[in-house]
Structure 1
Amino acid sequence: MSSTTSRPEAAKPPMREALVAAAFQLFLERGYEQTTVDDIVALAGVGRRSFFRYFPSKEDVVFPDHERCLADMTAFLAASEPDHEPVRRVCDAARLVMLMYAENPSFSVQRYRLTKRVPGLRAYELSVVWRYERALAAYLRDRFAGTPDGDLRADVIAAATVAAHNNALRSWLWSDGQGDAAEAVDHALGSVRTAFGAAPEPSADAPGGAPAGVRAGVAPGLPLVTALPDEDDVVVVVSRRGAPLWRVVQEIETTLARK
């Protein structure tokens, strides 16, 4: 009596992932503009109806995870407790986007290169970024409700958080995904927390409560802005209540320029 041992077939990727893989294979081989939805579904071995079940358009297949990430960010912010420091909370929410990119560095780098070459995709990406920013701003507007310039502060901090995150993320993508994306993004978001977070406790070992060993830049009626020595990339801001936020940012920029 003889027996044969059959090897199990490799599991096929889910249809959504198969469509994304087929699309990027064609984008790289033919170019984005020259690839049609019909080409993608033919390579993936499915029908057009299956494609549009997962992706409303060809642009959406380039950014397959942003809807999920935006939903995760919105849920994360909605689960915030009253004692959560709001600036830290939005920085933690922004890290969810970095984690999404870091899940698949090679795919993220491919998408970055493709987006740089196709103006329509750059415009699409900007619309996605705007939706993230609006989610952060909505949370901050709620937290700052009833405070002076609450809506203005919310919008400025949300924009700064997105700008800092994207600056670090683009640098990581430009380097072909080399290095630690989380570390780069954390460093960038630390600047946001330093600039807009809660004021530090006064130090007892320096006159007027300023930390020892700082350089200060002060103008009448403006915030006190101090920068720690060069080896510490930190700026401490102590603002008078009601100071216009744009003046706070201006003083920060002026102090950093003197470093």
Structure 2
Amino acid sequence: MSSSSAVPRRGEKTDAAAIKPPMRDALVAAAFQLFLERGYEQTTVDDIVALAGVGRRSFFRYFPSKEDVVFPDHEGCLADVTAFLAAGDDADEPVQRVCEAVRLVLRMYTENPDFSVQRYRLTKQVPGLRAYELSVVWRYERAFAEYLRRRLAGRPDGHLQADVVSAAVAAAHNNALRSWLRSDGKGDVGTEMDHALGYVQTAFGTPPARPGQPADTEDVVVLVSRRGAPLWRVVQEIEATLTQD
């Protein structure tokens, strides 16, 4: 028998924290166990606290509602994102800084892929959770926009640019993330994210340097188009040129 499973001697104190998970984690684990067994709508807060072995007051100390227990990690992640953006300085390229910030959100998902995939499946099944998830995404988007408004203040249409870029970063992140979640967390999400955020940086910021290209070397593209060509055709040709290796 290993020492970790030995019965404590009489009078010897055990480290409860080493035996039981923190109460917050225990509540999340109990909730998801019941959601998988019974379904989200059929599970009540009373069911969750009964399985976790705590009282209702303990539940609401950590989670304002049943919806919040499905997204237990976003408050901390949003605080990390906000702090990361605030720690930047004027030397940072603002669009790139936001693209780096959104990778903190991706890291939160990839640190616990099994939980992230479970939550994705659950959220797809429950309309109320999908609406809640949209409100979570909006909070990240607002944090990006507030940072960009400060950095782009004084530019023509600075606030408009801030809102458009923040929405684009959130959309690019979600596109890559959902592709990874649909693969049950087994795809190459890092490469997918690089590709998606590369579109944002190319469109709105300083495009990422190509392999073998010095970071301070300008990459100039010259496009020749027929006079009178429709605008949609010109845009299509520009996009095709920019995405060539």
Deviation string for 1:80-122 (max 9, x for gaps)? 1110000100000000110000010000000000000000000
For the pair 1:192 / 2:200, whether they are aligned, the reply is: yes
For normalisation by structure 2, the TM-score amounts to 0.82
Structure 1: 5+ residue stretches without partners: 204-209, 233-259
> Would the alpha carbon gap of residues 26 and 217 (structure 1) be closer, same or farther in structure 2, given more than 3 Å must change?
farther
TM-score after normalising by structure 1: 0.78
Gaps of 5+ in 2: 9-13, 208-215
Aligned equivalent of 2:185: 177
1:73 aligns to what? 81
The answer as to whether partners of 1:172 and 1:181 remain within 8 angstroms in 2 is yes
Counterpart-to-counterpart distance in 2, 1:219 and 1:82: 41
1:22 aligns with 30
In the alignment, what sits opposite 2:241? 228
* Separation in structure 2 between the aligned mates of residue 225 and residue 131 of structure 1, nearest angstrom: 33
1:123: how far off? 0.3
1:175 and 1:216, CA in 2 relative to 1: closer, same or farther beyond 3 A? farther
TM-fit CA distance, 1:6: 2.7
Q: Which residue of 2 aligns with 1:82?
A: 90
In the aligned structure 1, how far is the partner of 2:129 from the partner of 2:224?
44
Q: Whole-Å Cα distance in 1 between the matches of residues 76 and 227 of structure 2?
A: 46
Give the equivalent residue in structure 2 for 1:246. Answer: none
Task: Note the C-alpha offset of 1:198.
Answer: 3.0
Aligned residue in 1 for 2:212: none
* Structure having the larger proportion of residues in strand: 1
Could you list the per-position Cα deviations for residues 195-253 of structure 1 after superposition, in whole angstroms to 9, with x for gaps in the alignment? 111379656xxxxxx44xx6556989999946437653xxxxxxxxxxxxxxxxxxxxx
Letter in 2 for 1:228: T
2:135 pairs with one of 127, 131, 135: 127
Determine which structure has the larger helix proportion and give its number.
Answer: 2
1:95 aligns with 2:103: yes
Aligned CA RMSD, in angstroms, stands at 2.6
Distance, in Å, in 1 between the alignment partners of 2:224 and 2:239 is 4
